[in-house]
């Protein structure tokens, strides 16, 4: 039986992690657009990886469950890399909540039912979740533990309470990290681990669009005033993803790793305060 790494999202960060952890395993690469998955699969296949593709809409529980069925038909699911989502410049607040918050909750619930003993998962969240002011203990618990099917009915997530697309994105990414913490308990019962990575601005095609788009000046200023003074690369995120999915991180689960070149530090305590 094959060991399967499920890669959700055909972007650069997910690829960087998959390249580091998938040698000798089968990569099931899923994306909303099949043509994106096929194009990335071709690159990975020509680099020596065993790859198949599927379409998935992570805003749909039925679509995610079909992906789980495909993965388990191929072999034993030993790893999940969830790197799909939408950004504030791409989508409405409602879509962000459905894709980034609800979709992640469903992925963790459904793959948590089939993950193999010794398996692991990395969820790509965002530095934005670290910009949201502190929530109450009760709000944290609701975001972390409310069943996915009931999540979007929470009063705090009603569009009347969401200020704009950035607010929706921030609360979704905070929710991702809290959900990872709660799901780590359930995944642990199967002998598996789950962690999150919260990248800052990493140079990908999407990031290049954002750096030159309506929010571009703000993003460029964030980089300029950060301790590192630059954007990151997918390979830098991939290195941490490799650690978290490997045996050397066997004592790490339910954690979130902020990798943003110090932008968040500067946002709270440095030159980006009040900007």
Q: Which residues are identified as catalytic?
A: 169, 173
Q: If DSSP codes are grouped into helix, strand and coil, which group holds residue 64?
A: helix
- Ramachandran region, residue 256 (left: φ > 0; alpha: ψ -120 to 50; beta: rest): beta
The percent helix, strand, coil of the chain (3-state, each to 5) is 50, 15, 35
Q: Is 255 exposed, middle or buried (0-12, 13-18, 19+ CB in 10 A)?
A: middle
The span from the CA of 53 to the CA of 33, in Å, is 10
Torsion of CA 201, 204, 208, 209, to 10 degrees: -110
The span from the CA of 34 to the CA of 1, in Å, is 26
């Amino acid at each position: 039986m094959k060991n399967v790494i499920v890669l959700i999202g055909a972007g650069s960060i997910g690829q960087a992690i998959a390249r580091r952890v998938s040698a000798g395993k089968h990569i099931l690469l899923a994306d909303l657009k099949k043509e994106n998955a096929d194009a990335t699969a071709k690159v990975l296949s020509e680099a020596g990886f065993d790859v198949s593709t599927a379409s998935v809409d992570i805003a749909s529980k039925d679509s995610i469950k079909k992906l789980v069925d495909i993965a388990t038909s191929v072999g034993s699911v030993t790893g999940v890399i969830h790197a799909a989502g939408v950004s504030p410049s791409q989508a409405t607040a409602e879509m962000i909540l459905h894709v980034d918050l609800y979709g992640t909750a469903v992925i963790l619930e459904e793959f948590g039912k089939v993950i193999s003993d010794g398996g692991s998962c990395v969820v790509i969240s965002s530095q934005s979740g670290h910009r949201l002011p502190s929530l109450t203990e009760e709000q944290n618990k609701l975001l972390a533990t409310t069943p996915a099917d009931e999540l979007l009915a929470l009063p705090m997530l009603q569009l009347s309470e969401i200020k704009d697309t950035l607010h929706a994105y921030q609360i979704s990414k905070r929710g991702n990290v809290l959900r990872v913490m709660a799901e780590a308990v359930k995944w642990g019962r199967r002998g598996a681990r789950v962690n999150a990575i919260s990248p800052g601005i990493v140079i990908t095609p999407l990031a290049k669009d954002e750096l030159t788009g309506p929010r571009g000046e703000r993003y460029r200023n964030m980089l300029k005033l950060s301790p590192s003074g630059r954007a990151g690369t997918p390979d830098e995120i991939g290195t941490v993803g490799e650690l978290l999915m490997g045996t050397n991180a066997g004592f790490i689960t339910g954690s979130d790793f902020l990798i943003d070149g110090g932008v968040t530090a500067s946002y709270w305590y440095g030159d980006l305060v009040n900007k």
